[in-house]
Amino acid sequence: MLESAGQMIEPLERAQAESVHHRPGFTLSEGAFRKILYLAGISVLVLLIAIFFSLLLASMPSMKALGIRFLTGRTWDPVTSHFGALPFLVGTLVTSFLALCISILFSLPISIFLGYYHREGKASSFVKTVIELLAGVPSVIYGFWGLFFFIPIIRFVETELGVAPYGVGILASSLILAVMIIPYSASLGREVINLVPNDLKEAALSLGATRFEVIRKVILPYARSGIFAGILLSLGRALGETMAVTMLIGNSNFLPTSIFSPANTMASVIANEFTEATGAIYLSSLIQLALLLFVVTTVINIIGKIIISRTSVT
């Protein structure tokens, strides 16, 4: 940021001013200041731990009452207080993985486009900007758009296929999720592809390889773990996504039977039922779902970070 000596002048002048005039307002000793910094440093860690334990504590009632049946039970029945979360686990996994597969189909080409074919230039910055803006669109707007864009199309397809024309369901939410997570794997993928050493690429080209072959045999193998980390990041985002999914998934607490079935994910069932969970076990079960979400996304983030640091990228 401060590149030239000329840009340093103003800050240096400020430093000079500071050294001469002892202005009131900052008479903290160095020791105290450093302690404050340390405190700030551990604050986020403390926050995370506090989140974990709060969730754990609040999940205790349902953990004690339901045990392992929580994860294996297929019925979510508030009337009899039998809460089996399997339908939501399945719903979450199916939508997330389906979304991931669909998104890779698009994010990998973008990474290659921006990282290899067009690393600079107007086309590149335009595409890069649009992709990053896509990441910034609020989830609820994606859901709203999906309601009026994807649902009619899917309903049409379902009528043609003779299946119940729900429109909403797993396919709809997977599609919208796919669009939402493309930017994440795309940008990380682009970064790693960009960083493939030039000499490797040029060596391959000088040996007569086509660009396609350079990509297949040099770039992708080299950037493999970084791309994988980007995919993990996308997965983490997809697992926790709430609003767009809630609006498009059909809100059925049943184990989905096909791609056209309505379903629920862990996040969407919490959004639907939290404000009205009457009964301690009910509320605690929903919080247990949140705990599960928290643990799974944390683990995925840690794995992704380990992979990234191992390939010493970024």
Q: Kindly write out the interface string for residues 70-109 of this chain, putting x where it contacts other proteins by CB under 8 A and - elsewhere.
A: -----xxxxxx------------------------xxx-x
Instruction: Give the angle subtended at the CA of 273 by the CAs of 267 and 275, to the nearest 5°.
Output: 115
Q: How far, in Å, CA of 75 to CA of 124, rounded?
A: 50
- Does 297 help bind other proteins (rule: CB under 8 A)? yes
Residue 212 is encoded by which pair of tokens?
């396609």
Q: In the set 186, 192, 204, 218, which binds other proteins (CB under 8 A)?
A: 186
- Does 312 help bind other proteins (rule: CB under 8 A)? no
Q: In the set 64, 132, 217, 224, which binds other proteins (CB under 8 A)?
A: 132
- Does 60 help bind other proteins (rule: CB under 8 A)? no
- Does 223 help bind other proteins (rule: CB under 8 A)? no
Which alpha helices (H) appear in the chain, and where do they start and end?
A: 5-20, 30-66, 69-72, 86-112, 122-136, 139-161, 170-194, 198-206, 211-214, 220-240, 243-248, 266-273, 280-310
Q: Which range touches other proteins (CB under 8 A), out of 18-26, 65-73, 192-200, 218-226? A: 18-26
**Number of residues binding to other proteins, judged by CB under 8 A:** 125
Cα separation of the two ends of the chain = 18
Residue 97 is encoded by which pair of tokens?
């993985």
Paired residues of 263 in beta bridges: 250
Instruction: Give the angle subtended at the CA of 239 by the CAs of 133 and 104, to the nearest 5°.
Output: 60
Residues 242-281 that bind other proteins (CB under 8 A): 242-243, 247, 250-254, 262, 264, 267, 270-280
- Does 213 help bind other proteins (rule: CB under 8 A)? yes
- Does 194 help bind other proteins (rule: CB under 8 A)? no
Helix (H/G/I), strand (E/B), else coil: 263: strand
- Does 227 help bind other proteins (rule: CB under 8 A)? no
Residue 204 is encoded by which pair of tokens?
């391959």
Which lies closer to other proteins via its Cβ, residue 94 or residue 189? 189
Q: How far, in Å, CA of 163 to CA of 190, rounded?
A: 40
- Does 212 help bind other proteins (rule: CB under 8 A)? yes
Q: How far, in Å, CA of 203 to CA of 103, rounded?
A: 32
Residues 164-183 that bind other proteins (CB under 8 A): 164-168, 179, 182
Which lies closer to other proteins via its Cβ, residue 2 or residue 203? 2
- Does 202 help bind other proteins (rule: CB under 8 A)? no
Q: Which range touches other proteins (CB under 8 A), out of 60-68, 193-201, 221-229, 241-249? A: 241-249
- Does 36 help bind other proteins (rule: CB under 8 A)? yes
